[in-house]
Amino acid sequence: MEKTSTVNVGQWGTFISAKNISGQSADLDMKIEIQNQSEKRQKVSVETNIYFIGSNHNTNGKKAAIFPRSEHDLEPGEKVGFSSYLNLKNPKLWGPAPKQQPNLYRAITKIYHKGREIDRYETVFGIRNVKFDPVKGVFVNGEAVRIQGVNQHHDLGALGAAFNVRAAERQLEILKELGVNAIRLAHNPPASELLDLTDRMGFLVINEIFDCWEKGKSPLDFHLIFPDWYEADTRSFVRRDRNHPSVIAWSFGNEVGEQYTVEEGAAVGKKLNDIVKEEDSTRPTTASMNFAKPDMHFPRIMDVISLNYQGEGIRNALAYQHLKGIRTSPLYPSFHENFLKN
C-alpha cells in the first residue's frame, strides 16, 4: 500500500526507452502519466533527474542528465500522459555478465505545486540495444551473446512461493556459477524483486504470462476467468516490468491449447500480441510452442519463434517408440527455412 499526494505519478506511470545507442550518446524517451485525484483544478510542474547507480546500488548524488521541466493544468480526476526527451552523453550501457556490465540508472521524477514538492517517483532503468538476428543469433550492444539459459519457476522449493529475496539471489548466484546467462520465467508474472535481481546481476530474461488462455489444462485453472481478465492482466504485466533492462522479450503464453485450433487460436494470440505491443513496442513478443508447425497460423502472430521440445523432436527416437502421445520430427530446420524466406 502506498500513500501519495492527490496529484501524483500514476501506478507504473513511467516508461524510459532508448534509441540511437552508442558509447558516445543515447537518446532517451521518457513517457510519464500523472493524475489529479483531488476535487480541484491543479497547476503543477514536473521534472526528472537522472543518476547513475554505482556498484553499491546507490547513486552518488551527481546528476547524469536532466529532462526538461514541463507545466500542466489538470482538471479534477484528470490523467495526463506526456513524453520528455534528452540526449545522454557517454552512457554506461547495461549488458549481460560476464563480458558486459549491468549498469543501471535511476530517474527521480518530482511534481511541484506552487514551488513545493508534492510527489516523488523513482524509476530504475538500463540503456542497452538488443537485436535478434535469424541467422547470427542475439546481439546485445553490438556483441553476439550465446544464450545459455534455464526455464525457472517462481517458487523456491521447500521455502515455498512467498518471495524471499536472499534465497532467490542465492539461486541466481548458483546459476551464474554454472554458466547461465538467461532465464525464461515460467509461466506467470514473477515477483518484481526477482527482476530487480536479474537487472543487477546481468541476466537476460524472457518474461512470461499465462499458462493457458481459453482452453484450460485443468478444471480450475485460469481459463475460467481468462475472457474477463486477459487484457487487464496483460497490460499490468507489461507496465509493471517494462523498465527492467534484463527483460529482452515478452512471452504471452506457454504451450496453450489454442495451438490446436488453427485460425481461432491464432486470433486469440493476436489479441494478446497487440496488447503487448501497445504497451511496449521496443521488445519482441513470443509464445512457447510444443505443437504448432511452421505452416500454421499460430507461429505467425509473434516476433520470435519459441519451441519447446519439438525443435529437437518429440518421441522421435527409436527408444521412445513405445510411448503414447505426440510424435514430432525435429523442426528447427523447417521453422528456420519457412520463416527466413518470409
Contact indicator for 16, 107 with CB cutoff of 8 Å: yes
171 and 111, same structural domain? no
Average pLDDT, the chain: 93
Q: What percentage of the chain has pLDDT greater than the value 70?
A: 99
The DSSP H or E segment spanning 97 is: none
pLDDT of residue 17: 97
Tell me whether the omega of the peptide bond preceding residue 187 falls within 30 degrees of 0, making it cis: yes
pLDDT of residue 97: 86
110 and 167, same structural domain? no
183 and 108, same structural domain? no
Instruction: Give 314's pLDDT tier (boundaries 50, 70, 90).
Output: confident
- The verdict on residue 51 lying in a domain is yes
Span 8-28, average pLDDT? 96
Span 286-315, average pLDDT? 92
Instruction: State the residue range of the domain holding 82.
Output: 7-125
pLDDT of residue 282: 97
Cα–Cα distance measured from residue 135 to residue 34, given in angstroms and rounded to the nearest whole number: 43
pLDDT in tens, 90-117: 999 999 988 999 999 999 999 999 999 9
Helical pair 192-201 and 226-241, crossing angle rounded to 10 deg: 40
175 and 89, same structural domain? no
Active-site residue, from 143, 177, 255, 312: 255
165 and 106, same structural domain? no
Span 53-72, average pLDDT? 86
Domain count for the chain = 2
The distance between the two most distant Cα atoms of the chain, rounded to a whole number of Å, is 77
151 and 65, same structural domain? no
78 and 22, same structural domain? yes
**Active site annotation includes 231:** no
Task: List the single range of 143-147, 225-229, 257-261, 314-318 with lowest mean pLDDT.
Answer: 314-318
Residue 23 has pLDDT above 70, yes or no: yes
Span 83-94, average pLDDT? 96
Q: The CATH number of the domain where 46 resides is what?
A: 2.60.40.10
- The verdict on residue 136 lying in a domain is no
296 and 157, same structural domain? yes
Cα–Cα distance measured from residue 206 to residue 147, given in angstroms and rounded to the nearest whole number: 11
Contact indicator for 144, 138 with CB cutoff of 8 Å: yes
Q: The CATH number of the domain where 257 resides is what?
A: 3.20.20.80
pLDDT of residue 158: 87
pLDDT of residue 167: 94
| 114-149: b (≥16 Cβ within 10 Å) or e | eeeebbebebbbbbbbbeeeeeeebebbeeebeeee
- The verdict on residue 47 lying in a domain is yes
Residue 340 has pLDDT above 90, yes or no: no
Say how many C-beta atoms besides its own lie within 10 A of residue 257's C-beta.
16
Residue 338 has pLDDT above 70, yes or no: yes
Residue 243 has pLDDT above 90, yes or no: yes
pLDDT of residue 342: 60
Residue 59 has pLDDT above 80, yes or no: no
293 and 184, same structural domain? yes
Q: Which strands form 116-125's sheet, in the order they lie side by side? A: 59-74, 42-53, 104-113, 116-125
Residue 305 has pLDDT above 90, yes or no: yes
Residue 58 has pLDDT above 80, yes or no: no
160 and 103, same structural domain? no
Say how many C-beta atoms besides its own lie within 10 A of residue 67's C-beta.
20
